[in-house]
Amino acid sequence: MPLRHLVRTTAIGILIALAGCAAVPAGAPSPAGTAPTAFSPAPPSTPAQSSAPPSTTSPSGPAPQPTATGSSRPGTDAPTPKPRDRRTSAQRNRAFTVDGIPVVSKQHPINAGYRRSSISSPYGLTRETQRALTRMIAAARAGGVRLRVRSGYRSYALQAQILSSKIREYGSETLARRYNAAPGRSEHQTGLAVDLWDGVTWGVGVRNTRAGRWLWANAWRYGFILRYPAGKETITGYAFEPWHYRYLGTGPARAFGPNSYRTLEEYLGLAPA
């Protein structure tokens, strides 16, 4: 073979060999391993169900949880820590407060030195509570419902007398304490609570009167809540009292709505786990 043909053939072979080495670099993934994976969206989450018993007279659903200390905050799954009462005995001349709402109960007492934020007549309620009560009584009257105040503010000493009297009347301290607070553990001492009835029927029977039914359906509109609902004694510490209403203000009371079984403890994140 002539020399020029030999040189040309050798050069072509070297170029082919180099091209073959560069086609698939060492360590490159196989084409089959690079195929895109189809996107599968996560299924929508199921809304949490309310633990409150359903209303028996109104189809109103539960209102959103408040963004308060001790409640779940929007956009998060974990609840905030449960509020803790860090007052000493000497500091109980002021109420345990969560998000500006005073809480007085068996678990969160006040002492004889507690003073209301303001005083009005004729029931000794705070001025704001009395104004709201006046509006509510007028609205009920316009609807043909008569509301009467049976009890408003009570002092520490008066509450002690009432409990002692009820223990003698019932013949059982345990039973008396289901309906009657010890001094320092009654909301009546705050001037924020009021016992309401129609002036005729008292006791648990209040729930079946026109006054009782109207209050349960409408008190929230004026800032009041049924403080001790049926079936919630393990949370509130007190038996069902269809006459006892607590003033919160129209803002917080909207979270309860009509015919609500919700408790203040549940609203503020204070209910037992």
**Tens digit of pLDDT at every position of the chain (273 positions):** 443 443 344 444 433 333 343 333 333 333 333 333 332 333 333 333 333 333 333 333 333 333 334 444 334 344 568 999 999 999 999 999 999 999 999 999 999 999 999 999 999 999 999 999 999 999 999 999 999 999 999 999 999 999 999 999 999 999 999 999 999 999 999 999 999 999 999 999 999 999 999 999 999 999 999 999 999 999 999 999 999 999 999 999 999 999 999 999 999 999 987
Alpha-carbon distance of 4 to 183, in angstroms, equals: 120
Contact status, residue 192 vs residue 131, Cβ threshold 8 Å: no
Instruction: Tell me how far apart the alpha carbons of residues 218 and 179 are, in angstroms, rounded to a whole number.
Output: 24
The candidate with the shortest Cα–Cα distance to 242, out of 264, 273, 211, 271, is: 211
pLDDT confidence of residue 81: 83
Q: How many CB atoms lie within 10 A of CB 181?
A: 21
Q: Looking at residue 79, what is its pLDDT?
A: 54
Closest of 61, 68, 74, 88 to residue 258, by C-alpha: 61
Q: What is the DSSP-derived secondary structure letter of residue 203?
A: G
Q: Provide the residue type at 251 as one letter.
A: G
User: By three-state DSSP, how is residue 272 classified?
Assistant: coil
Positions annotated as catalytic residues are 241
Report which residue type is found at 231.
G
**How far apart, in whole angstroms, are the C-alpha atoms of residue 55 and residue 62?**
10
User: CA-CA distance, 265 to 33, in Å (whole number)?
Assistant: 57
pLDDT of residue 193: 98
In this prediction, residue 114 carries a pLDDT of: 97
Q: What is the pLDDT of residue 273?
A: 79
pTM of this structure: 0.72
- Collapsing DSSP states into helix, strand and coil, what is residue 245? strand
The whole-number pLDDT of residue 27 equals 37
Considering Cα of 209, then 213, then 218, then 219, what sign does the dihedral take? positive
Output the pLDDT for position 269: 96
Domains present along the chain, CATH in parentheses? 126-153+191-268 (3.30.1380.10)
Cα of first residue to Cα of last residue in the chain, in angstroms, is: 98
